[in-house]
Amino acid sequence: MPRRKAVRTSTLSTALIGFSLVAGGSALSMGLASLGARPGPQSPARQVGVVGPDGRGDPRGCIFDERLASYAAGWPFDLCDCPYPPACDDPINRDAAIPTPATPMKVVRIRVVVFANDDGSDPTSVLGEVEDQIAVLNADFAQHRFYFQHTVDFINSTAARIGAIPATVFAENPGVQCNVYVVATNGSSATGPWESQALADEGGVLMSEDHFASDLHVLTHEMGHTLGLWHTFHGSQLNIACGVGPCHDCSESVGAANTDLVGDHCSDTPPMLAGGFATCTSPTGIDPCSGRPWGAMPENYMDYAGALLPGCDMLFTPQQSGRMHCWSADELSAWFSAPGDLNGDGFVNIADPIFLKDYLFGGGAAPNPLCRGDVNGDGGIDIADMIYLLNYLFSQGPAPTDGC
């Protein structure tokens, strides 16, 4: 059952930043803020130390093409001059991470936070809707070998519900789980894994209550960002929108040979313009850099096309899947539930065989996902798994298997 929390009185003078899907139009929105966040783990190769003349920036900021473009007039470096490109932007690393049906499932811990008014009225969602939305999320990611193990909290805070204070005031344990906030505002957004806020209180996913619906895939879109994906139109429409012109070294142009290295860093998604929320088609037109027609992939989760239409969004490409596995393994592995962690608390200890015993013999909750209960890998879930886990913990037995 969800845990009802007392409203906290602390304040935080920042906002969730990242990618944004703004309801009711085709606005392309993203922010850049200077936040006093606790940095998450960083690979030395990503510590490029890019800081603008106004002091704003991010240790790995040179990969933010659009954000840099927004400040291009005053930033004394080339937009594409990244001396230490991120490892997962290398197509060799990306392709090596593309999962197969035999790839072990990455079980990601998420916490869904539903806000209501101070008196408990008008919640942004209810438990049944949350369960339905998570079922859609897991169905969308299943063939890409991700599963989302969730908890739900209901919090009474009118201010957080309407965006008067940041929802991230109510962050819990962002170093070991992704916080997903459902609010009564018009936009949805997410923090990318390369951002220093990814494992800090300021990170997470912000979901508009209108987007948090089981017949839509907006949460899938935002979770794609969280795990390492850009929009499919990254490097085309967004570079134009940020005022640096349509054609430069960072542009993703139709027919170019470098589409693995610019734009969304996936050559199996075409250079394209952003689709409209209410139509399941990609805009037509001519790429001004190549003179060729823009590509189309409106069914991709990372486009805007049909975001508010049931039945439009339906796929990630193999290279997108590889990017998510690469980036999440590099930067977000603390969110993964390890084999044997049957109760989802982030540890493998005596509580897990007890959890399994309660499930098998006491009517307790099932492992989530259920296949994780098969810790000995024999295809079933029974007392042998409980004994196997006890032997691992106390008799130097073999480690638990994934089971999924």
Q: What is the pLDDT of residues 120-172, one digit of tens each?
A: 999 999 999 999 999 999 999 999 999 998 999 999 999 999 999 999 999 99
Stretch 280-299: mean pLDDT, rounded?
Answer: 90
Question: Does residue 341 surpass a pLDDT of 60?
Answer: yes
Lowest mean pLDDT segment, chosen from 19-28, 104-113, 313-322, 363-372: 19-28
- If one compares 248 and 92, the residue with the highest pLDDT of the two is 92
Residue 212 C-alpha from the chain's centroid: 15
The average confidence (pLDDT) of the chain is 78
**Closest C-alpha to 225, from 61, 50, 20:** 20
Stretch 165-180: mean pLDDT, rounded?
Answer: 95
**What is the bridge-based pairing of β-strands 28-30 and 19-22?**
antiparallel
Question: Does residue 401 surpass a pLDDT of 90?
Answer: no
Question: Does residue 322 surpass a pLDDT of 80?
Answer: yes
Stretch 266-294: mean pLDDT, rounded?
Answer: 90
Question: Does residue 2 surpass a pLDDT of 90?
Answer: no
Domains defined for the chain, CATH in brackets? 3-37+97-227 (3.40.390), 339-394 (1.10.1330.10)
Q: Are 114 and 123 in contact (CB under 8 A)?
A: yes
pTM of the predicted protein model: 0.75
- The pLDDT assigned to 354 comes to 93
- If one compares 119 and 20, the residue with the highest pLDDT of the two is 119
- The pLDDT assigned to 54 comes to 31
Q: Are 293 and 285 in contact (CB under 8 A)?
A: yes
Q: Give the C-alpha distances (Å, rounded to integers) separating 29 from 25, 190, 196.
A: 11, 12, 19
Question: Does residue 210 surpass a pLDDT of 60?
Answer: yes
Question: Does residue 194 surpass a pLDDT of 70?
Answer: yes
Question: Does residue 173 surpass a pLDDT of 50?
Answer: yes
- The pLDDT assigned to 27 comes to 31
Cβ-Cβ contacts under 8 Å for 354 (sequence gap 6 or more):
none
Rounded-to-integer distance, Cα 282 and Cα 268, Å: 16
- The pLDDT assigned to 158 comes to 97
Phi, psi of 104 (to 5 degrees): -55, 140
Question: Does residue 320 surpass a pLDDT of 80?
Answer: yes
pLDDT band (50, 70, 90) for residue 302: very high
**Can you state the percent helix, strand and coil of the chain, rounding each to 5?**
25, 15, 60
Stretch 182-205: mean pLDDT, rounded?
Answer: 92
Question: Does residue 276 surpass a pLDDT of 70?
Answer: yes
Phi, psi of 177 (to 5 degrees): -155, 155
Q: Are 270 and 308 in contact (CB under 8 A)?
A: no
pLDDT band (50, 70, 90) for residue 20: low
- If one compares 48 and 19, the residue with the highest pLDDT of the two is 19
- The pLDDT assigned to 368 comes to 78
Question: Does residue 303 surpass a pLDDT of 60?
Answer: yes
- The pLDDT assigned to 247 comes to 72
Question: Does residue 8 surpass a pLDDT of 70?
Answer: no
